Amino acid sequence: MTQTITTKLADSQLKFWKENSYVHIPGLFKDRVDQMSGWIDEISTWKPSMDQWMCYYEMDNPEQLSRIENFIPYHAGMKEIFTGDTIVSLISELMNEQAVLYKERINFKSPGGGPHAAHQDGVAYEQGENAAFDPNINPYLSILISIDEATEENGCLQVVPDWPIDNLEILPMEAPYPDRPDYMKIKQSLEDRLTWKKLPTQPGDALIFTERLPHRSEPNLSDKTRRIIYGVYNPLSVGDKRKKYYQDKRKNPNDPRYMVGNPHAPSE
Ligand SMILES: O=C(O)CCC(=O)C(=O)O
């Protein structure tokens, strides 16, 4: 029997959320993180696949698994985590409307690997072609759950603080490597002018952030893999977007849209 955790955010957390576009919820899944860790070990032994769950490999090391997506249709426990009341009610509270799961992934940041260049997630979702985020659509929200400890050394998430939730800017991007024109990130000159805050997390901690928040992470300089899981939720008022997202992605997993800040080796 699984246990539902009901969390109501304090007024101070809601205020912080509106002013920063992210909130840290320490220990949200501390009672379940060992179980989830075992499930991830299990999922990481599944055969390489792009037509069921979807496996991606490090850009500079195509043998090294970097990410698995779309695994909840094949794993009841993980499905319950990502679609259960604990997360969905929390995300819906922050979204101000009913939220629905858009997609999920496990990021395996292996030693030496896994940097994520500065980006805003929304550029890879529905609003990537816009000049700015649409003020009439509540932002898609991500929840990060730390399975392992995420530290400065192993490349924890970094965000731009004081980024209010109603900031609609889509920051200019560039392709930093001439031989990888499909791989885009926030312009270096702009990234260098922004302030970045490192957000270390303990196993079981959660961080929720909007698709508008610029973020990045550095490579893992430790000798152990650092695992984090992410769920992304969209407002139900725009429809249930999951099926179309994965259909499109399967047609062309190498589309530049899926490389924003997040390069991977070419997928078949
Ligand atoms: O897991 C990380 O280090 C950062 C991940 C990230 O930025 C992303 O997947 O969009």
Q: Is residue 113 part of a domain?
A: yes
Q: Is residue 267 part of a domain?
A: no
Q: pLDDT tens digits for 73-105?
A: 999 999 999 999 999 999 999 999 999 999 999
Q: Is residue 4 part of a domain?
A: no
Helix 85-95 to helix 76-83 angle (10° resolution) is: 30
* Mutation test residue for ligand 1: of 116, 123, 151, 159, the one with most atoms within 8 Å of CB: 116
Q: Is residue 159 part of a domain?
A: yes
Q: Is residue 126 part of a domain?
A: yes
The domain that holds 244 is classified in CATH as 2.60.120.620
Nearest CA to ligand 1 atom 3: 217
11-25, 114-128, 202-216: least confidently modelled range: 114-128
Q: pLDDT tens digits for 21-64?
A: 999 999 999 999 999 999 999 999 999 999 999 999 988 888 89
Give the largest Cα separation in the chain, rounded: 53
C-alpha span between 103 and 232 (Å, rounded): 5
Q: Is residue 144 part of a domain?
A: yes
Q: pLDDT tens digits for 143-167?
A: 999 999 999 999 999 999 999 999 9
Q: Specify the number of domains making up the chain.
A: 1
Q: How far is the CA of 217 from the centre of ligand 1 (A)?
A: 6
C-alpha span between 212 and 112 (Å, rounded): 28
C-alpha span between 26 and 195 (Å, rounded): 23
pLDDT score recorded for residue 224: 95
Write out residues with Cβ below 6 Å of ligand 1.
Answer: 107, 109, 116, 121, 155, 157, 215, 217, 228, 261-262
Ligand 1 atom showing the smallest separation from residue 121 Cα: 10
Q: Is residue 52 part of a domain?
A: yes
* Mutation test residue for ligand 1: of 145, 215, 217, 229, the one with most atoms within 8 Å of CB: 217
Domain with 38 in it = 11-259
